Each structure stands twice: as structure tokens, then as C-alpha cells.
Amino acid sequence: MAGLDLEVSTGTATTSVTAVLRGGASTAPDSERPVVLLRGDMDALPVTERTGEEFSSRHEGVMHACGHDLHTAGLVGAARLLAARAPELTGDVVFMFQPGEEGHDGAGHMIEEGVLEAAGRPVEAAYGLHVTSSKQPKGLFSARPGPLMAASAGLSVRVIGAGGHGSSPHRSLDPMPAACEMVLALQTMVTRRFDVFEPVVITVGTFHAGTRRNVIPDEATFEATVRAFTPDALAQVQELAVRLCEDIAAAHGLRAEATFTGEYPLTANDAAEHDFLAATVREIFGEDRYELMENPITGSEDFSRVLERVPGAFVFLGATVADDPETAPTNHSPLAQFDDSVLADGAALLAELAVRRLGSASPAQQQPESAVAATP
Ligand SMILES: [Zn+2]
Ligand SMILES: [Zn+2]
């Protein structure tokens, strides 16, 4: 972004970067000039890349497996497009370069540090996009009004017994079978305690116990990720899952410490902002470039923190390199590949959303003659 007329600041809690572009077209007092936020996340994942690309990550155990490098580059592209048009903008644009999306709540930290007031007054609308390496055809934008991505939480369970010799389990308190029972009972709980129309996912992703086959360990621990689409469902999982683990432990004469930690809230698109985004995609790229998603997805996003506070919309952009997106490795896979030829359209969309949104009091009153973004 060097050479662009932006007010750039960096965070202290994280490695965040915030840039503000001042539009020059309005003579209105500052308090009446709208502010739009565009967001790109920047972080990688603890995955060792196996794509074989010549530009593969050179760092063992660090890979842009979720395509956030495209988001960063795309947001720089949007900043360049908008900086070139600053004299026509009737308000200001905040560019939110965010670290720590993958479970570190980077958005939450940036909000605490004031990103939503970075222009000196509150942001009125916020937009972001996410590339996908599979499922979605290349170049297709997709989203939906309302719930788009799940709320997430973590469940950590420590089952405490008393270790001993593997040959005489009756003289120990073996935590292992009880912990296994909990893993299975959690799945039964999802089907027996939740309405099938109230989706809940619980996946146990770690399970650790023991050191040798003939030693009964003192403890077994496991961790699960939880996804749900309403605060009520999440609260119910918390109550039921914690009790289930504690009571199964008690039934075997053991003790369990179950900790439930809320992570990201539901990512929900404002209905009017979604419709505005969809109409913008169709108008500048063509009808066939936008697809309304039938269902939300069970992934989570900390852009939800922004959308909780500011009306806005988040959209997926297909960036698969495969002929058949259905069989392509998914985001987070060590084989995930993203086609950066979609970058220009991603950047153009973000820029155009800002131009149009700044140019009207609300999406409903949008000016039809507002300018179309130049392709970068
Ligand atoms: Zn991810
Ligand atoms: Zn991601």
C-alpha cells in the first residue's frame, strides 16, 4: 500500500493493520459522511503444505491452507482501486487487515482496539469475502441472507481416575473406557436431545491417554469442537454435554472436569446488505456469477464479531483449481490450492460495494448510475 494516500495504523494486541481512506467528494460535515469497512484476514494455519506448487510455503508446519493470503492481496487491490477514486467518494473507507482468524479472535482484538471507529466515527456497513478451494466453481460468488456460518465453542474434558497395572484393572480406576463412552454418548446426545431442524455438530478432535499398553493411566483427556446456529442451542449443548460427561464419570466412580468455552458467534448477513451485495455481483459480473446458498455452512468466522455490531455481508468466492470442485481438497487440507486469477474480481467487488454504499444513505436508496469499478 506504499504510495497510496492512506492513514495506516498498527495494532498493539496483535499484528493487525488498519488503513483509512478519506473520500474527497462530500462537503458534508464529518459527522454526516458515511464510513464503510472492508476486511481481509491474513493468517495461515499450522499445516505442512503438500501441494507441490513452486510457490509452496517454505516454512514447515505453516501454510496458507485457508486462502487468507488471497484475502490480504485482494484487500490491497481494493485499496488501490478506491485510492484512485478517492476524489469521487462521499465518505471514508476503513481497510481491516486482520490476523488470527483461525481461532485466535483477531477480529475481537481489533474491535477492542477501535477498528470500527478508525475513521473517527462509527462504521455504517462492513463487507468481507472468503475464497474456497473446493465445492464451489471458480469465480462463483455465493452467500445468503441471515445465518451464513455457525457459532462455535470448545469442549475440553479431563477424566480423572487412578492408574495401575493393566493386568488388574479392578484395582485401579480406569479413565479410558469412561472417556470412550463419553465420546460416543455425545453423538447420541446430538440425535436424542436436539430437534433435527436445529443443527448441532460435535466433533471430538483430540483424545489423549496413557503411555504404555500395560499401564492404566491416571487420566484421559479429550477436546471437541461444537457448532450450532442459535445461542439457545449452544447454551443447551453446554448444559447437556457438561452434565453428560460428569455423570458418566460418576457412574464409573471417576470424576470428570468438563469445560465449555464459547468461541465465535453466528455469522449472519444483514438481509438488505446481502441483497445489495448479490445485486452488485450480478450487475458487474453477470447473473450467473452469483448463487444464493440454500443452507448455511458449519464453519465459523470471526468476521461475525463485526457483523454482530455493524450491518454487512460476507460472501464466498470459488477459487478452485480443479475441474471437478466436488473432489478438490478442501480449505485447511495440506493439498488445498487456490486460483489467484479470482483476485481481480474479489478486489473489484469489495471496491464497488464501498463505492455504492458510500454513495447512498441505504442500500434501498442506491443510485443506479453509480460507477462500476475498474478491473485492476
Ligand atoms: Zn480457515
Ligand atoms: Zn478462512
Ligand 2 geometric centre to CA of 323 (Å): 22
Ligand 1 geometric centre to CA of 66 (Å): 5
Ligand 2 geometric centre to CA of 137 (Å): 18
Mean pLDDT computed over every residue of the chain = 94
Which ligand is located closest to the Cα atom of residue 68? 2
Phi and psi torsions of 270, nearest 5°: -60, 135
2 pLDDT exceeds 90?
Answer: no
Q: Is 87 exposed, middle or buried (0-12, 13-18, 19+ CB in 10 A)?
A: exposed
Determine if the pTM surpasses 0.85: yes
Q: List, in sequence order, every residue forming a beta bridge with 94; answer none if it has no partner.
A: 20, 37
Ligand 1 geometric centre to CA of 167 (Å): 45
DSSP state of 289: G
Query: Of residues 376 and 147, which shows the higher confidence score?
Result: 147
How confident is the model over 158-217, as pLDDT tens digits? 999 999 999 999 999 999 999 999 999 999 999 999 999 999 999 999 999 999 999 999
Which ligand is located closest to the Cα atom of residue 130? 2
- 3-state SS, residue 86: helix
Q: Is 84 exposed, middle or buried (0-12, 13-18, 19+ CB in 10 A)?
A: middle
CB 264 within 8 A of CB 151: yes
Ligand 2 geometric centre to CA of 221 (Å): 28
280 pLDDT exceeds 90?
Answer: yes
The C-alpha R_g of the chain, in whole angstroms, comes to 24
Residues with CB under 5 A from ligand 2 (ion): 66
Q: Long-range contacts of range 320-328, CB-CB < 8 Å, 24 or more positions apart?
A: 320/132, 320/133, 320/134, 320/135, 320/136, 320/137, 320/138, 321/133, 321/138, 322/134, 325/134, 325/135, 325/136, 325/137, 325/138, 326/134, 326/135, 327/134, 328/133, 328/134, 328/135
Ligand 1 geometric centre to CA of 264 (Å): 13
Q: Among 19, 17, 24, which residue's Cα sits nearest to residue 7?
A: 19
Q: How far apart are CA 247 and CA 251, in angstroms?
A: 6
Q: What is the pLDDT of residue 367?
A: 44
Ligand 1 geometric centre to CA of 147 (Å): 18
Ligand 1 geometric centre to CA of 41 (Å): 10
DSSP β-ladder status, 92-98 and 255-262: unpaired
Provide the pLDDT confidence category of residue 372 given band limits of 50, 70 and 90.
Answer: very low
Ligand 2 geometric centre to CA of 18 (Å): 19
369 pLDDT exceeds 60?
Answer: no
Ligand 1 geometric centre to CA of 279 (Å): 27
Ligand 1 geometric centre to CA of 63 (Å): 11
CB 318 within 8 A of CB 280: no
What percentage of residues in the chain have a pLDDT greater than 90? 91
Q: Is 365 exposed, middle or buried (0-12, 13-18, 19+ CB in 10 A)?
A: exposed
Q: What is the pLDDT of residue 16?
A: 98
If phi > 0 it is left, if psi is from -120 to 50 it is alpha, else beta; for residue 352 that is alpha
375 pLDDT exceeds 60?
Answer: no
Ligand 2 geometric centre to CA of 302 (Å): 9
Rounded to the nearest angstrom, the gap between the alpha carbon of residue 142 and the centroid of all alpha carbons in its chain is: 15
Q: What is the pLDDT of residue 362?
A: 42
Question: Nine-digit cell at 99?
Answer: 490476523
Ligand 1 geometric centre to CA of 300 (Å): 8
112 pLDDT exceeds 80?
Answer: yes
Ligand 2 geometric centre to CA of 102 (Å): 7
Ligand 1 geometric centre to CA of 331 (Å): 6
Which ligand is located closest to the Cα atom of residue 46? 1
Ligand 2 geometric centre to CA of 314 (Å): 12
Q: Where are the beta strands (DSSP E) in 104-195?
A: 125-132, 141-143, 146-149, 151-160, 164-165
Which ligand is located closest to the Cα atom of residue 40? 2
Ligand 2 geometric centre to CA of 144 (Å): 18
Which ligand is located closest to the Cα atom of residue 41? 2
- 3-state SS, residue 29: coil
Ligand 1 geometric centre to CA of 45 (Å): 8
Q: How far apart are CA 106 and CA 27, in angstroms?
A: 35
71-80, 287-296, 331-340, 367-376: range with lowest mean pLDDT: 367-376
If phi > 0 it is left, if psi is from -120 to 50 it is alpha, else beta; for residue 105 that is left
CB 200 within 8 A of CB 190: yes
DSSP state of 370: P
Which ligand is located closest to the Cα atom of residue 69? 2
CB atoms within 10 A of CB 212: 8
365 pLDDT exceeds 50?
Answer: no
- The residue assigned the cell 446426545 is 189
How confident is the model over 145-161, as pLDDT tens digits? 999 999 999 999 999 99
Q: Cα torsion at 75, 76, 81, 85 (round to 10°)?
A: 100
Ligand 1 geometric centre to CA of 43 (Å): 9
Rounded to the nearest angstrom, the gap between the alpha carbon of residue 318 and the centroid of all alpha carbons in its chain is: 16
Ligand 2 geometric centre to CA of 305 (Å): 15
Ligand 1 geometric centre to CA of 338 (Å): 13
